[in-house]
């Protein structure tokens, strides 16, 4: 399983536009082949910073989503609202007990 975390910093005046877009599209993302989980987080101190947190069956499933027309359209609309460059991490979900 791949966990994908994307940090996005928005123009303060664009927060409502982004949350509306996410609300409109979240179910389609959740039902995309290979997506097992999707959450949207908002930073506790910087209200214009959001994170998407998603689980994907494999990197191939994530890539299939990332190269889809649906993603390209969603990302273009989202990118237009940024005030800073997004950051993204793909990590393997492993639990290490110490």
Domains of the chain by residue range: 2-92
CATH number for 2-92 (one of 1.10.3720.10, 3.30.70.100, 3.40.1190.10, 3.90.1300.10): it is: 3.30.70.100
Please, are residues 8 and 95 in contact by the beta-carbon 8 Å criterion?
Answer: no
Tens digit of each residue's pLDDT (9 = 90 or more) over 40-81: 999 999 999 999 999 999 999 999 999 999 999 999 999 999
What pLDDT, on the 0 to 100 scale, is given for residue 98? 72
pTM above 0.75, yes or no: yes
Q: Give dist(CA 97, CA 70) in Å, integer.
A: 39
Please, are residues 6 and 86 in contact by the beta-carbon 8 Å criterion?
Answer: yes
């Amino acid at each position: 399983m791949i966990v994908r975390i994307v940090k996005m910093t928005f123009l303060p005046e664009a927060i409502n536009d982004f949350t509306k877009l996410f609300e409109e599209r979240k179910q389609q993302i959740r039902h995309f082949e290979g997506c097992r989980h999707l959450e949207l987080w908002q930073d506790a101190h910087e209200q214009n910073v959001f994170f998407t947190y998603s689980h994907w069956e494999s990197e191939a499933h994530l890539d299939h989503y990332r190269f889809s027309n649906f993603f390209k359209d969603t990302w273009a609309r989202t990118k237009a609202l940024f005030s800073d460059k997004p950051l993204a991490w793909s990590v393997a979900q492993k639990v290490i007990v110490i």
